[in-house]
Structure 1
Amino acid sequence: MSRYQPPKIASSEITPQGLYLNRRGLMGLAAGGIAAAAAPGAFAAALTATPSAYKVDAKLTSKEDVTTYNNFYEFGTGKEDPSRNAGSLNTRPWTIEVGGLVAKPQVIDIETIMRDYTMEERVYRMRCVEAWSMVIPWIGFPISALLDKVEPLGSAKYVAFETLVRPEEMQGQAGIFQALDWPYVEGLRLDEARHPLAILATGLYGETLPNQNGAPIRLVVPWKYGFKGIKSIVKITLTEQEPPSTWNRLQASEYGFYANVNPAVDHPRWSQATERRIGEADGLFGGARVDTLPFNGYADEVASLYAGMDLTKFY
């Protein structure tokens, strides 16, 4: 049986490879000829806003590492399992239900998202859950652009996300012994979701998002630990109460709802003070260790979201 291969993004809709390999910051696809003419008014403004202050001065992680060293328990608990097993996932057709406390609930087809939402490339330094990190050039769009389309009600305080359940294609969801309860769920506070750094990603390295990285659409919140980055999203719901989060529900003492990168607060089973940068250097444990930065290096941009909060309690 042939393995499903997701369709490529049209070359006119992505940043050329030579461009993103030679730049070290936040890059909009205006440089690649994309315009937001199809998106009217405030929606277009939200899509084309690309704050130049959001930069990552670090070497990109290789595409090979980004696509073969992953956490995606729906396809297995080993880091190499997703790249071996995720080819079974069929990402077309695909729809996302957006509802809850909104004025205009919608069911949006992924093809509509790929056509109507301007793609922009953002290079983020991503922290994962076991003190390892990558620097990844994602293609996507701000969550705020989608939220503006559905018009959140004044009572909405949180955004809940839910992933696909399809055990016939996601072998980690099948069988007697399950690593997690399905579906995988996550959430953000509404103001976090509206921050320009928080995006819904549909690609990386100038290509359509590979299955093992969360195809066809996933969450990217670069100042938080990797388990917040829910993959293969099928439902987004605005709520008044804090929504459940899979790892927090599994072990609240280790995985807080906020999951902000905080080197001053250790995980119960390991230090958060340093991280292993995947692919940068070979060593005893496969990568150079560097100091972890508060909010993963984005403190200037996001620390104000948590003013007055005890970040050892709301971890």
Structure 2
Amino acid sequence: MLIRPAADLRDHDVTDQALYLDRRRFLALGAAAGTLLAAGQGLAATSDDAPTPFEAVTTYNNYYEFGTAKEDPAVTAPSRLKLAPWSVAVDGECAKPGTVALDDLIKPLKLEERLYRMRCVEGWSMVIPWQGVPLGQVLKRFEPNSKAKYVEFTTLADKAQMPGLRVPVLDWPYVEGLRLDEAMHPLTLLATGLYGKDLLAQNGAPLRLVVPWKYGFKSIKSIVRIRFSETQPVNSWQKANSREYGFYSNVNPEVDHPRWSQASERRIGEFRRRKTLMFNGYADQVASLYAGMDLRVNY
């Protein structure tokens, strides 16, 4: 399946000034993106979007394991989260389960640059260039069997490293899930970096999920377990409040959150709100996944 490039892709829409100043990083980013475009695997990008500054992307975060204020993760996570060694346990309905070191999980695949919108369920958004590998290519190596219909992801839960776990905001550890076809979709990314740099702790280092057509809380951080399942996982926010947070949580401006409208969003760094796009602007690529579903019901 090809990921078609948007006709209105412009370099400055997705590249922060810091990357222009770091010439080697910028050239590497541009070359990777150009290769994908030339191969017919270009990335859907933004339309008339101003770049989200690197500083904002790395200091305005939801990562409740390190605190509930937006600035808490950037203050707390870098000094507390131990990023190495890191391994991921893969189990459930697959032929080749096992615990794999992060390097062994990622290094067999070529890192790609993905230029994606990110839309938070809270009503704000960013534009972020990610670095990582397609999740589907990773999952295939474990040979999911015919019973595997869903993929469940779990975040690290260590009170010694994560002071937020002492507060029962959620039923820890943080758990998220995708349908198997969503997980295998070419847009779905296992991210290891952003803006040409390694992921920072506050952004979900060393390994996080990026599902750009879904609200941001679906893109689980600091993954330590991946499980193939026959039954639909119950994600953490759905378990906490199923009325407000569903399993699918596709970006849909026509379905309001019970406490606020989703018809518009506040792009970080901008003053005026902008119209929210169906599937966060990726409808051409992903709408077919939900053919026949009532997206107002299956929120």
Return the offset for 1:55.
2.6
Amino acid across the alignment from 1:171: P
CA contact (8 A) 1:99 1:106 kept: yes
* Residue 308 (structure 1) aligned to one of 288, 292, 298: 292
Q: What is aligned with 1:35?
A: none
Give the distance between the partners of 1:53 and 1:215, measured in 2 at CA. 23
Q: What is aligned with 1:288?
A: 272
Q: What is aligned with 2:244?
A: 254
Identity %: 56
Give the distance between the partners of 2:27 and 2:46, measured in 1 at CA. 16
Deviations 1:217-266 (A, max 9, x none): 00000000011011000000000000110000100010010000000111
Return the offset for 1:21.
7.5
Aligned residues, how many? 276
Return the offset for 1:187.
0.1
The 1:30/1:116 distance shift into structure 2, 3 A limit, reads farther
The 1:198/1:295 distance shift into structure 2, 3 A limit, reads same
CA contact (8 A) 1:95 1:234 kept: yes
Give the 3-state SS of the residue equivalent to 1:288 in structure 2: coil
Q: TM-score, normalised by structure 1?
A: 0.83
Q: Structure 1: any 5+ residue segments left out of the alignment?
A: 1-14, 32-47, 282-286
Return the offset for 1:60.
2.3
How big is the alpha-carbon RMSD for the aligned residues of Structure 1 and Structure 2? 2.2
CA contact (8 A) 2:43 2:115 kept: no
Return the offset for 1:111.
2.2
Q: Does 1:122 align with 2:130?
A: no
> 1:135-214, aligned counterparts within 5 Å?
135-174=127-166, 177-214=167-204
CA contact (8 A) 2:88 2:225 kept: yes
Return the offset for 1:28.
6.6
Give the distance between the partners of 1:234 and 1:154, measured in 2 at CA. 24
Deviations 1:63-107 (A, max 9, x none): 000000000000000000000000210011110011110011121
Return the offset for 1:30.
7.6
Return the offset for 1:20.
7.0
Give the 3-state SS of the residue equivalent to 1:60 in structure 2: coil
* Residue 27 (structure 2) aligned to one of 19, 28, 32: 19
Give the distance between the partners of 2:150 and 2:191, measured in 1 at CA. 20
Return the offset for 1:19.
3.4
The 1:53/1:137 distance shift into structure 2, 3 A limit, reads closer
Return the offset for 1:116.
2.3
Q: What is aligned with 2:99?
A: 107
Q: Structure 2: any 5+ residue segments left out of the alignment?
A: 1-22
Give the distance between the partners of 2:34 and 2:142, measured in 1 at CA. 24
Give the 3-state SS of the residue equivalent to 2:116 in structure 1: strand
Q: What is aligned with 2:6?
A: none
CA contact (8 A) 1:27 1:50 kept: no
Query: Which is further off, 243-252 or 51-60?
Result: 51-60
Deviations 1:202-222 (A, max 9, x none): 000111100000000000000
Give the distance between the partners of 1:98 and 1:276, measured in 2 at CA. 37
Give the distance between the partners of 1:206 and 1:53, measured in 2 at CA. 16
Amino acid across the alignment from 1:193: A
